[in-house]
Amino acid sequence: MGCVRGSGLFSLVLVLGLVLINWVIFCNGSITSSFVRKLEKTIDMPLESDVFRVPPGYNAPQQVHITQGDVEGKAVIVSWVTPKTPGSNTVLYWEENSSKKLKAQGKSKTYKFYDYTSGYIHHCTIRNLEHDTKYYYVVGVGQTERKFWFFTPPETGPDVPYTFGLIGDLGQSFDSNITLTHYEKSPIKGQAVLFVGDLSYADQYPNHDNNRWDTWGRFVERSTAYQPWIWTAGNHELDFAPELGETRPFKPFMHRYRTPYRASGSPEPFWYSIKRGPAYIIVLASYSAYGKYTPQFKWLEKEFPKVNRTETPWLIVLMHAPWYNSFDYHYMEGETMRVMYEPWFVKNKVDVVFAGHVHAYERSERVSNIAYNIVNGICSPVKDQSAPVYITIGDGGNLEGLATKLTEPQPKYSAFRESSFGHAIFSIKNRTHAHYGWHRNQDGYAVEADTMWFNNRFWHPVDDSPSSDS
Ligand SMILES: *[C@@H]1O[C@H](CO)[C@@H](O)[C@H](O)[C@H]1NC(C)=O
Ligand SMILES: *[C@@H]1O[C@H](CO)[C@@H](O)[C@H](O)[C@H]1NC(C)=O
Ligand SMILES: *[C@@H]1O[C@H](CO)[C@@H](O)[C@H](O)[C@H]1NC(C)=O
Ligand SMILES: *[C@@H]1O[C@H](CO)[C@@H](O)[C@H](O)[C@H]1NC(C)=O
Ligand SMILES: [Fe+2]
């Protein structure tokens, strides 16, 4: 309880109460947290909000964001938008304390969506970076220059610690801003964000008002310019609107957000893999074909044998639509992909799967449901120590609000579920242990409402479910 700092007596009582309630329910296995949120509408921040302010200066670069640019973590894709003219495509960058400034050239492009025309969207990949190094970079060269910095990850290896933030379904509501603030103010500092899809929710506006893609880019810049966000495509990235003459799925997303898909042999930007420190991260596309013989299927089949657990002990998968979900909302939407890929996940001992889509939080037991073959009728999830833990972290806070309806009784595969906004942190310590914590926005920055010590499935595959502790 020493971690409840500056959040007042009220939260202290609330947290104490929650601990007691959890304690009682613990004896029965699954937990449906009875934490009671304030029930207020989730509303988008108005256009004139501080977080949407355009940076000062002529044609100043805005919506600056970075992501990993290769498989190994030695390249970074820098992206930004200039509103009036293309301006320079150059990124100036240098190692901290080095006087040797380097340059890389990118490209810029605009796109149209119905009656909207975008600014000049720049993407520039900077390569051959040193591992574990702080770099400064400047965009807007020759006009309004803006300077940022980032750290490259340590060289891939089994025992390099690395901490990932987890955010999903963020949107641009007042709650989204609280989620991002809590992620930033967490005493456990995330070094990169694994983003599980549904970015701006611009598609909820008339004609998919793409100005809301711009406001979102400006809102998240305070994080995305300084640490890579690893992108997963969600259903709100589709922007498929034949009624507006817009029939090319993912058009705004593809123009604005890059992924290093070619480096991992993927033919499409929506599924790919990267290594980062001790982790091998596979990003899957819930809204691209994944059945047998499809490009995604063939790619994934060849991907698993590439994972070397001696080099990257932690195997993490990101997707948008969860396979194991016990909320009413989006119930079973992940089922068709689960049927195709779950046997591979178990065989290859995936450590953890993060998904979004459901606007709530849920953590599963280690379960699998792969025995069924139509004639045998064996179709219930069973505990399986080779299976991943499935975590739904679609609780970023977008304007659609929280998923509050639950399937009852809580299925055995569901270990903990709660409808509150928040984020999570996955902190890898070494090849055997990773600490995971989910944080709800109502608590003080240091409070973790659901925690688990992960035991690596390859190096230390003993039962790690919190309910089997003690
Ligand atoms: C850069 O210089 C600062 C201040 O002199 C120092 O604290 C820091 O350790 C240096 N960083 C590197 C990478 O040399
Ligand atoms: C968003 O959060 C930041 C950081 O806490 C704060 O400075 C800003 O005023 C907030 N903006 C809105 C519109 O809530
Ligand atoms: C796996 O990685 C380790 C450490 O880098 C290396 O020694 C080993 O040869 C690799 N194994 C395979 C099959 O490539
Ligand atoms: C790995 O990290 C865990 C948690 O910090 C620690 O208990 C364990 O001793 C570490 N293992 C090794 C081999 O250092
Ligand atoms: Fe979604």
Q: What is the DSSP string of 331-344?
A: TTTTHHHHHHHHHH
pLDDT bin (cut points 50, 70, 90) of residue 16 is very low
Tell me which residue has its CA closest to atom 5 in ligand 3.
Answer: 311
Phi, psi of 82 (to 5 degrees): -110, 130
Q: With CA atoms as reference, report the closest residue to 449 among 461, 438, 436, 464.
A: 438
Active-site residue 330, yes or no?
A: yes
Helix (H, G, I), strand (E, B) or coil at 156: coil
- The ligand 4 atom nearest the CA atom of 430: 1
Residue identifier of the C-alpha nearest atom 5 of ligand 2: 181
Q: Which of 438, 313, 467, 358 is nearest to 35 (CA)?
A: 438
Which tens digit of pLDDT belongs to each residue from 32-58? 887 766 667 899 999 999 999 999 999
35 or 427: which leads in pLDDT: 427
Whether 215 shows a pLDDT value over 90: the answer reads yes
Q: Where are the domains of the chain?
A: 158-197+270-469
More confident residue, 19 or 127: 127
Residues 216-238 pLDDT 10s: 999 999 999 999 999 999 999 99
Q: Is it true that domain 158-197+270-469 has CATH number 3.60.21.10?
A: yes
> Which residue's alpha carbon is at the smallest distance from atom 10 of ligand 4?
430
Pairwise CA distance, residues 215 & 166, whole Å: 21
Q: Which residues line ligand 1 (CB under 6 A)?
A: 96-97
Helices (H) and strands (E) in the chain, counts: 6, 26
Cα–Cα dist 113/154, whole Å: 40
Q: Is the pLDDT of residue 186 over 70?
A: yes
Name every residue whose Cβ is closer than 8 Å to that of residue 50 and which is 6 or more positions away in sequence: none
Q: Which of 330, 357, 423, 439 is catalytic?
A: 330
Q: Is the pTM of this model over 0.85?
A: yes
Q: How far is the CA of 221 from the centre of ligand 2 (A)?
A: 13
Expressed in angstroms and rounded, the spacing between residue 355 Cα and the centre of ligand 3 is 30
- Percent of the chain at pLDDT exceeding 70: 92
Nearest to 79 by CA among 150, 139, 25: 139
- C-alpha of residue 420 to centroid of ligand 5, in Å: 16
pLDDT at 8 over 50: no
Contact between 364 and 413 under an 8 Å Cβ cutoff? The reply is yes
Answer whether residue 21 shows pLDDT above 80.
Answer: no
pLDDT in tens, 65-79: 999 999 999 999 999
Looking at residue 39, what is its pLDDT? 65
Residue 123, both tokens: 């993407």
Q: What is the rounded average pLDDT for all residues in the chain?
A: 93
Q: Give the residue, by CA position, lying nearest to ligand 2 atom 13.
A: 49
> Torsions phi, psi of 71, nearest 5?
-80, -40
Q: Output phi, psi for 17, to 5 deg.
A: -60, -45
Cα 431 to middle of ligand 4, angstroms:
8
State mean pLDDT over 2-31.
43
Whether residue 163 contacts residue 285, with contact meaning beta carbons closer than 8 Å, is answered with no
Q: What pLDDT, on the 0 to 100 scale, is given for residue 104?
A: 98
pLDDT tens for 317-368 read 999 999 999 999 999 999 999 999 999 999 999 999 999 999 999 999 999 9
> Closest ligand 3 atom to the C-alpha of 158?
4
Q: Mind listing the pLDDT tens digit for each residue in 60-116? A: 999 999 999 999 999 999 999 999 999 999 999 999 999 999 999 999 999 999 999
State the pLDDT at residue 33: 86
135-158 confidence digits (pLDDT tens): 999 999 999 999 999 999 999 999
Which atom of ligand 1 approaches the CA of 95 most closely? 13
180 lines ligand 2 (CB under 6 A): no
Smallest CA separation from ligand 1 atom 2, residue: 97
Ligand nearest to the CA of 215: 2
Whether 308 lines ligand 3, by a CB cut-off of 6 Å, is: yes
pLDDT of residue 470: 37
